[in-house]
Amino acid sequence: MALGVYFVREKKRRLLLSHRCPFRLDSILTGDGTDSDCPQSNRPEECCFFLLAREPARVPTPSLKADLAALDQLAHHRRKWSEPDMRRYHRLLRRCGAKALQELDDLRAWMLAPISIWPIHVQDVFGVALEALEHGKPLDSEMLFLIRSLPKVPSDDVLQEIIRHEHQVAQGNYSEHTTTEGKFRSVEQELIHNSVFQDEWHSIKARWPTMDFADTGGIIRRSFSAERNFRPGFSVDWNSPRNRFQAVFDCFCARWNLYGMKGDTPLVLKLSVNLTPHGTMIFIPAYWSFDAKRDVRWNAVTKLHRCRSRKKQGETLTENQIQRRQMAIQLEKLELLAKEKGLKGQKKHEFLCAGLQLDPRTSPKRLANIRIK
């Protein structure tokens, strides 16, 4: 029985030292022996093994300092816009205790994950949940259902790989996965010095206050097209001045292969590799003369993608898994029959091997590996 490492209270430590139970502490903590080895096992209230097994490891309470440090590691200035809600969470934690906030554990974990793999805008939901708890209200059933529906946050090593990639993307740096920086720069410089492009841009600026439509970074962005070319907000409301400008600007960007403008600088589309919540997206601009062998570092792309898909897949593998599952079910039935027949040791082993159509010399370890885990 694997116990892990348990916190041992002084009272229980004295129990061991008083020899009321000869089952040694070092054996318990290293997993040697079983509870049946203890002569007090018929009196579980006095068995040190029983007492230790009931004492779970203490779960450390998350600290504000650690959470802010985690936000500092993330790209896109995450601490700047996530810190207020994280401070709210820790004020509630100090006031109400960890048990009262355990329903927010998964949301908090996603708050500390890279935004590029968020399945939804986690911070919006986190803020609503905090507001409810701050007013002493329980989370409603649909909120709890949403939290339970969240996928599991990737492991730390996977998160570190994604964080590193996200920082590169934030800087517009795809050199780890593509070899096209020189080709991109030549296209960019050609456009900057294109007089027709400059005339069109100045005409737009003369008609609209373009900076009114820029984001906080001073970038005016075209409308996004999503995966499989679905386009949220594709319609044009000509009664809206913003919609009129956006329609004109989208046509301008499509004509000159841009994703936006920063001041008077064109932001030219480039060959890129991005992680999304649902996969790895490789984008090839329409104007790009694509060379599959030279333009992409496929080994690096494969490594990035596989950080979230470590399991091998394929038709042959699926067939093997089904066969192994069937053998495990058959083995479970055979072990029940062997128990009814009173078979033990070598006779039991030979009976199981015969039932599975295996050589009787098959190692018991192989049978152990077949069992349903």
183 Cβ contact list (under 8 Å, min separation 6): 295
Tokens encoding 296: 């992409």
d(CA 117, CA 160): 13
- For residue 318, the model assigns a pLDDT of 60
Q: 77 φ, ψ to 5°?
A: 55, 45
HEC-encoded secondary structure of the chain: CCCCCCCCCHHHHHHHHCCCCCCCHHHHHHCCCCHHHCCCCCCHHHCHHHHHHCCCCCCCCCCHHHHHHHHHCCCCCHHHHHHHHHHHHHHHHHHHCCHHHHHHHHHHHHHCCCHHHCCCCHHHHHHHHHHHHHCCCCCCHHHHHHHHHCCCCCCHHHHHHHHHHHHHHHCCCCCCCECCHHHHHHHHHHHHCCHHHHHHHHHHHHHCCHHHHCCCCCEEECCCCCHHHCCCCCCCCCCCHHHHHHHHHHHHHHHHCEEEEECCEEEECCCEEEEECCEEEEECCCCCCCCHHHHECHHHHHHHHHCCCCCCCCHHHHHHHHHHHHHHHHHHHHHHHHHHHCCCHHHHHHHHHHHCCCCCCCCHHHHHHHCCC
What would the pLDDT profile of 110-124 be if each residue is shown by its tens digit? 999 999 999 999 999
- For residue 322, the model assigns a pLDDT of 77
Could you tell me the residue ranges of all domains in the chain?
10-53, 64-153, 181-269, 315-370
- For residue 228, the model assigns a pLDDT of 79
Contact 78, 37 (CB under 8 A): no
Q: For the chain, which residues score pLDDT lower than 50? A: 1-11, 15-55, 57
d(CA 247, CA 234): 10
**pTM, rounded to two decimals:** 0.66
